[in-house]
Structure 1
Amino acid sequence: MITLTDITKVYKNGPLEVQALSPVNLKVERGEFVAIMGSSGSGKSTLMNIIGCLDVPTSGSYNLDGEDVHKLNEDELSRVRNQKIGFVFQSFNLLGRQTVLQNVTLPMMYAGISREKRNERALDLLARVGLEGRVKHRPTELSGGQKQRVAIARALTMNAPILLADEPTGNLDTKSSHEIMALFKQIHEEGTTIVLVTHEPDIAEHADRVLLFGDGKLLKDTRKGSVYS
């Protein structure tokens, strides 16, 4: 599903260069649940942005579900992001003036799906995440956990085979975090490939595989059954 070969990322600021990622080689198979861990500045968010086609590597190649990402133009990258990848962010990224229903239907609107079909799909997903009673509310009227449930419903609208989550529990209390991770587990069990960035070991324990990054390098690749630390 995801193959990264000799991926590097260098950020330039005038004469200064910052090596965010040293050569990274990584494969994520279809149906895996992978957590990426590391301290601030370890390169984990940079890697997530490259996987999500939100940033491009300085060198190396990236094959996503059989497509060479480097060869795609902007329109093709937009299609990949819309159809193959669902995104969940720490800050939720909901539109404050839109209702819960409108926020969830947004990716489908961009895809040209009819209003009737996108509303039907959004309502089904909101029921799935336990928010069928909040469809007319706006984000300011929701708790942090509810906002993240809206974001997850939105990420699932296009039936994308990959779900990327960047610190999805970072702004949540413990109870809400556990509820969100239970939802991720359910989504994974239904066949979605999940790649999740976190700095919290207890959140990483929900994954089947944990990748530990430091100084832009993949330091450790641990399968389930080991102790994450």
Structure 2
Amino acid sequence: MITLSDITKVYKNGPLEVEALSRINLQINEGEFVAIMGTSGSGKSTLMNIIGCLDIPTSGTYVLDGQEVQTLNEDELSKVRNRKIGFVFQSFNLLGRQTVLQNVTLPMMYAGMPRDHRQERALHLLEKVGLEGRVKHRPTELSGGQKQRVAIARALTMGAPILLADEPTGNLDSKSSHDIMALFKEIHQEGTTIVLVTHEPDIAEHADRILLFGDGKLLKDTRKGSVPS
């Protein structure tokens, strides 16, 4: 599903060059649940942005579901992000003036789906995440855990095979974090490939595989029940 070969990312700030990622080689198979860990500045968020087609590497090759990402133009990249990848962020990224239902239908509207289909699918997903009674509420009327559930429902609208989550429990209390991770595990069991960035070891333990990053390098690759590589 995801193959990174010799991926390097260099950011330039005037005469300064900062290597955020250094020759990363990584393969994530369809149906895996992977957690990416590392301290601030370790390269984990840069990696997530590249996997999500939000940024491009300075060098190396990224193949997503059989497509070499660097060969795609902006329109093609936009379609990939819309159809193949669902995004969940720490800050939820919900539109404050829109209702819960409107927030969830947004990606489908951009994709040109008929209104009736958008409504039906959004209501189904909101029921799935336990928010069927909140469809007319606005984000300001929801708790942090409820906001993240809306964000997860929105990420699932297009039936994307990959779900990327960047610190999805970072703004939540422990109970809400537990509930959100239970929801991720349920989604994973239904066949979705999940890649999650976190700095919390107890959150990473929900994954089947943990990647530890430091100074832009992949330091350790651990699968549950196996010896770290």
Q: Percent identity?
A: 86
Gaps of 5+ in 1: none
Amino acid corresponding to residue 131 of structure 2 in structure 1: L
Task: Report the CA distance between 1:128 and its aligned residue.
Answer: 0.3
* 1:197-212 alignment runs, 5 A limit: 197-212=197-212
- Superposition pairs for residues 132-147 of structure 1, below 5 Å? 132-147=132-147
2-side partners of 1:204 and 1:191: how far apart? Answer: 19
After TM superposition, the score normalised by the length of structure 2 is: 0.98
Number of residue pairs aligned between Structure 1 and Structure 2:
228
**How far apart in 2 are the matches of 1:227 and 1:194?**
22
The equivalent of 1:156 in structure 2 is 156
User: How far apart are the structure 2 equivalents of 1:49 and 1:105?
Assistant: 24
CA 1:227–1:143 in structure 2 vs 1: closer, same or farther (change >3 Å)? farther
* Alignment correspondent of 2:171: 171
Q: TM-score normalised to the size of structure 1?
A: 0.98
Structure 2: distance between partners of 1:19 and 1:95 = 34
> 1:225 offset after TM fit, Å?
2.9
Partner in structure 2 of residue 130 of structure 1: 130
Structure 2 counterpart of 1:25: 25
1:36 matched to which residue of 2? 36
For 1:60-99, what aligned pairs fall within 5 Å after superposition? Answer: 60-99=60-99
Equivalent residue number for residue 186 of structure 2: 186
1:224 aligns with 224
The amino acid that maps onto 1:56 is I
Regions of 4+ moved over 6 Å: none
* Secondary structure of residue in 2 paired with 1:196: strand
Deviation at 1:108, TM superposition (A): 0.2
Q: Secondary structure at the match of 1:8?
A: strand
Distance across 2 between alignment mates of 1:95 and 1:59: 35
Note the residue ranges of structure 2 that are not aligned, 5 or more in a row: none
Counterpart residue identity of residue 2, structure 1: I
Q: Separation in 1 of the partners of 2:207 and 2:72?
A: 30
Q: For the aligned residues, what is the CA RMSD?
A: 1.0
* SS of structure 1 residue aligned to 2:211: strand
